[in-house]
Structure 1
C-alpha cells in the first residue's frame, strides 16, 4: 500500500467495501471479450477518479483480471472500497461504467447466485478476496443485513466500535 493510500484509508472511521463477480462467456483473450478487455483501463481510471473512491484490488497489470478467486477460470472478481453507498452507486449507474454495465450480457453469463455484496469495514482495513467470497456466501444464506447488503437494502455504517 502506498503512503497516499494509507492516508486516504484513515480519513473516516468506516468505509464501504464491495465485491462483484461475473462469469465470462469466454476467456479474456477471446475476441468475444475484446471490447470489455480493451475498456478495462479506462473504466478503472473512471473509478479511481470518481468522488468517494478509496481503493481497489489490483495486480501489477493494473486490474484484477489476473486474480482467480474461484476454481472456474472464467469467473472474474472485483473488490473496491468507497466512502459511501451513494458515491459507489453514482459510479456504477451514472458514469461511463454504466454504459458497460447495461451491456454486460454481451460478455457475461447470468450468474447463478449472489454476485454483488457491500459491507462496512474499518478505515484501516483492506478487504481480501476470501472476505469478499464469505460476504457473498453470507448474503446468499441470510439476505441483506448489517453484515452485508445490496443496493436494494443498504445499511448505514456501524455506530459502535
Structure 2
C-alpha cells in the first residue's frame, strides 16, 4: 500500500469565532479551503457541518498542549490527507494560504504549542480528531519523531529521518 501524509493544523485565536478581531481569518476560510482542495497532492479533509458543528471524521477535541481554559470556538483546527509533505508545504507557503499565513499574528496567539503535525498513514486509513490531537500532543511533548513530525525534522514513511525536498515545496 501507498503511504500518505495526515496533516493537522492548530491555531489559538486571540478571540472566539464571531469576534471582529478574528473576522479577517474567518472571511478567508472558504478561499483557503478551495485552494487546498485544488492543490496538487491534496486528497481529502474533514469537513464541518455548519449547522451542527460536527466534523466528518469524528468529534473534535482540544489538545492538552493548549491552555485548558480555551473553548473550541477559540481553536482553529484542520485535518487533511496529502500525497506527501512537499505537497502540503507547497500549498502552505503559496497563494491564498501564504497570504493568510502572513497575517497570523493579527489573529492568533503565540505559544509553546506546535502549529501543525504530520504523520504517515496507510492509503485506506482515515485519520480522526482523537488521533490528530494525540499526534500534536506527542510532538509537543517529545519533539519530532516518526509518529509525529514537522517540516524541520521530517521522517519518511519507513520512519527514517529525511529532509524536505525544498525544490518541490518552494513557493
TM range (shorter): 0.7 to 0.9
Aligned equivalents of 2:98, 2:139: Cα separation in 1? 24
**What are the ranges of 5 or more consecutive residues in structure 1 without an aligned counterpart?**
1-11
Q: Secondary structure at the match of 1:22?
A: strand
Deviations 1:35-93 (A, max 9, x none): 1111111110000000000111111239x897742262212221111001111100001
RMSD, matched Cα: 2.1
38-47 vs 136-145, greater mean Cα deviation: 136-145
2:40 maps to: 51
Q: Secondary structure at the match of 2:140?
A: helix
Alignment coverage as a number of residue pairs:
147
1:148 maps to: 148
2:122 maps to: 122
**What are the ranges of 5 or more consecutive residues in structure 2 without an aligned counterpart?**
63-67, 160-171
1:90 aligns with 2:90: yes
Q: Secondary structure at the match of 2:93?
A: helix
1:36 maps to: 25
Structure 1-normalised TM-score? 0.83
Aligned equivalents of 2:54, 2:16: Cα separation in 1? 10
2:113 maps to: 113
Aligned equivalents of 2:152, 2:47: Cα separation in 1? 27
The answer to whether the 8 A contact 1:23-1:108 is kept is yes
Structural mapping, 1:57-68, within 5 Å? 57-61=46-50, 68=60
Q: 1:51 to 1:85 in 2, by over 3 A?
A: same
19-28 vs 39-48, greater mean Cα deviation: 19-28
TM-fit CA distance, 1:111:
2.7
Aligned equivalents of 1:111, 1:20: Cα separation in 2? 14
